[in-house]
Homo-oligomer: A and B are copies of this chain.
Amino acid sequence: MAELQLQSPGKQPTIRDVAELAGVATSTVSRALSNPGRVNRVTRERIEEAAAQLNYIPSSQARGLSSGRTQTVAVLVPDITNPFYFDIIRGAQHQLKAAGYTQLLVDTEESAEMEADALQKMRRSADGFILAASRLTDAQLAEAAAQQPLVTINRAPAIAPTVVIDTPSAIIQALEHLVSLGHSRICFVGGPATSWSNAKRWQAFQEETTERKLTTFSVGPFAPKTTSGAAAADAAVHTGATACIVFNDLLAIGMLQRLRERGIRVPDDMSIVGCDDIFGADFCNPPLTTMASPIEQAGRVAVSMLLSRLNPQYGGTSRRLAVMPTHLTVRASTGAAPVR
């Protein structure tokens, strides 16, 4: 008396069920599904049909247990809220999905401890890591890189494979732009002290302004959030500069709001250049002149670099460094320097 048992809830079909239905051994099923060609075509088709009929999906857990791989990549970002990382997440997601990987998203809340912790805790559950704007020290990062495959985004190339968004060269473009508008008193509005990008941008700013013999100021560090914009704007205005190069768009947008509140006209009284060209930079008021980065592409490239390391057989030159070009996008937040 055959028991009819379809969809006994919670009970998932196993490779054994498929083998039984197809009348073969489980090993044959395994090979037929993951290594076709090792199995007779007719048999394989029979197995595939049985699998489809049972709605069979292999358990990634069991599969990972023997293979030691999880087909999973963890993406660590300092702040999920920040649109900049959205684009990275999106690019990574896209590329991972295409390669049959799953994305584990982790928000490290701008904390080096949380980042290190996640790196440890997830060591076993992810095949590799993408560290966007890591807040780790060089030493911590080197240690982590020695333990597991990882690719950083916007971090010194010496330590681990990395994708660098070339904002320093964009800084030069931005300065060129400001100078051509007649500005000579320029303020750098700094981001988080632990940010490598911030350090690089500041360095480029200093070098270039020194060479051009410009009068410069700097304020900060500020948290990269719109809410820090008010303090940043006030500080920048106080310096007497006529133009600001701001760590990122989030902060710049916050400044824009504050300046309007205070009746300081942008760009008439003060020009503002942001960085990243995030969502919103084009429709804020006034639209923001900013250094546009191919952020999503950076996420994609980072994943590619990681995957080519994880699967060397698929080749792909395992570069240790990818530099993403940037360019200045001029909108309405920059204009001629005010006449004194």
Contact pick for A124, options B9, B58, B105, B280, CB 8 Å: B58
A114 to chain B, nearest CB (A): 9
Is there an interface contact between A59 and B226, defined as CB atoms closer than 8 Å?
Answer: no
Known contacts: A89-B80, A93-B80, A280-B280. The answer to whether A125 contacts B102 by CB under 8 A is: yes
Tally of this chain's copies: 2
Contacting B at CB under 8 A, from A113-150, are 120-125, 146-147
Is there an interface contact between A57 and B121, defined as CB atoms closer than 8 Å?
Answer: yes
Chain A 78-117, CB-CB to B under 8 Å as 1, else 0, gives 0011010010011001100100001111010000000000
A253 at the interface (CB under 8 A from B): yes
Residues of B near A146 (CB, < 8 A) are 7, 9
Contact pick for A257, options B83, B93, B279, B283, CB 8 Å: B283
A299 to chain B, nearest CB (A): 11
Residues of B near A279 (CB, < 8 A) are 81, 83, 279-280
Q: How many Å lie between the Cα of A219 and that of B55 in the bound state?
A: 42
* Number of A residues, CB within 8 Å of B: 45
A180 at the interface (CB under 8 A from B): no
Is there an interface contact between A124 and B93, defined as CB atoms closer than 8 Å?
Answer: no
Known contacts: A93-B107, A105-B89. The answer to whether A62 contacts B59 by CB under 8 A is: no
Q: How many Å lie between the Cα of A259 and that of B97 in the bound state?
A: 38
A233 to chain B, nearest CB (A): 13
Residues of B near A53 (CB, < 8 A) are none
Residues of B near A123 (CB, < 8 A) are 12, 57
A60 at the interface (CB under 8 A from B): yes
Is there an interface contact between B80 and A83, defined as CB atoms closer than 8 Å?
Answer: no
Contact pick for A280, options B59, B65, B283, B286, CB 8 Å: B283
